[in-house]
Homo-oligomer: A and B are copies of this chain.
Amino acid sequence: MISFENDYSEGAHPLVLQRLIDTNLVQTPGYGNDEFCTAAKEKIKAACQAPDAEVFLLTGGTQTNAVVISTLLADYEGVVATVEGHVATHEAGAIEYTGHKVLTLPEHDGKLDAAELDAYVESFYKGSSYDHMVFPGMVYISHPTEFGTLYTRAELEALSAVCRKHQLPLYLDGARLGYGLMSDGTDLTLPLIAKLCDAFYIGGTKVGALCGEAVVFTHGCTPKHFITMTKQHGAMLAKGRLIGLQFDALFTDDLYFRISRHAIEMAYRLKDGLAAKGCRFFLDSPTNQQFIILDNETLRRLQEKVAVTVWGPYDEQHTIVRLVTSWATQPEAVDYLLSLL
């Protein structure tokens, strides 16, 4: 059965895998102190046009969020996110497990609004009992969001300005960052993100790697002894090269961006086909996640042939369905899916 369930259904992009094969018997020191990790970090800094940034290679998204957030926050601080933020909903309490509250604000197509953030922080410090409350200590967004939507450059600049006004580090979860950067019409680039955010991660797991996320700290924001903290969180691999090699491959010859663009093109082929068939969209996503509304009987029949994500009920007769493309999606698979509707 073909799957449009997510963007982590296959192994690694063939060129990533080839890199693992080619270097397999090379001996390296452990814990990320190897030449491949060094090369990957240099290439990532170059792609970010951020020579002073520091890059760290972790294994997965929830792990990365927990390590970055808990090391950027003081004990009396929490992280601000939207009510639909991944850290607020689908990480099994990983942030709270580190002792920190997720402070939630409304979402607008999955996005955090800069003016609402500003008003919240302003009113926090105007309150009479704020020292009995959790201080806002940093801001978490994801790009693309949980709904596949994107911040515009103006929106991210506004968020960044509010964060700097209040001295709150701005952290961007880029689990699907490639798909966001390669979307038609986006006016954000990797260097702009590096300029506007204080920390972010470039997702590997969902963009061609077997596993791995590259955390970038800009503007001197690296938490002290971050390496030791990754060990304390169980996030340090003995064979750190595994992540280094993969990011080295992904950031060679623009592979990360080329395969992300492929996923976007497949998503648009799907989106256009769905629109042509009169399919209702739950929201308008410019990235590799498309959300449609299907009547339950159509869904039932579709699921006999294709794996999809059931996002939740729309009403009694309809269901919100997520369809995801990736670097691995073939045009024939898209056409097959469309033929079933």
Query: Does A92 interact with chain B (Cβ within 8 Å)?
Result: yes
Q: A63-B234, A131-B231, A134-B93 in contact; A5/B29 too (CB < 8 A)?
A: yes
Q: CB distance A239 to B225 under 8 Å?
A: no
Q: CB distance A100 to B94 under 8 Å?
A: no
Contact with B along A58-79 (1 / 0, CB 8 A): 0111111111001100111010
Query: Does A129 interact with chain B (Cβ within 8 Å)?
Result: yes
Q: A25-B10, A99-B97, A211-B237 in contact; A228/B92 too (CB < 8 A)?
A: yes
A129→B66 CA distance, assembly (Å) = 19
Query: Does A24 interact with chain B (Cβ within 8 Å)?
Result: yes
Q: CB distance A92 to B231 under 8 Å?
A: yes
Q: Determine which residue in A9, A227, A229, A231 has the highest number of CB atoms from chain B within 10 A of its CB, and name it.
A: A231
Query: Does A40 interact with chain B (Cβ within 8 Å)?
Result: no
> In whole Å, how far is A173's beta carbon from the nearest beta carbon of chain B?
13
Q: A24-B10, A131-B231, A228-B76 in contact; A238/B60 too (CB < 8 A)?
A: yes
> In whole Å, how far is A304's beta carbon from the nearest beta carbon of chain B?
16
Interface size on A, residues (CB 8 A): 82
Chain B contacts for A310, CB-based, 8 A? 128
Q: CB distance B59 to A75 under 8 Å?
A: no
Chain B contacts for A70, CB-based, 8 A? 75
Chain B contacts for A131, CB-based, 8 A? 92, 225, 227-228, 231
Contact with B along A94-124 (1 / 0, CB 8 A): 1011111110000000000000000000000
Q: Which of B93, B100, B127 contacts A78 (CB 8 A)?
A: B93
A61→B132 CA distance, assembly (Å) = 13
Chain B contacts for A227, CB-based, 8 A? 131
Q: CB distance B92 to A211 under 8 Å?
A: no
Q: A6-B238, A78-B93 are in contact. List 16 more A-B contacts (CB 8 A).
A: A6-B30, A10-B24, A17-B20, A59-B211, A63-B235, A71-B75, A75-B229, A76-B225, A78-B96, A92-B132, A92-B231, A99-B99, A205-B238, A211-B239, A233-B234, A234-B235
- 12 A-B interface contacts by CB (under 8 A): A2-B27, A10-B26, A11-B25, A62-B231, A62-B234, A70-B75, A76-B225, A90-B133, A93-B99, A132-B228, A132-B231, A211-B239
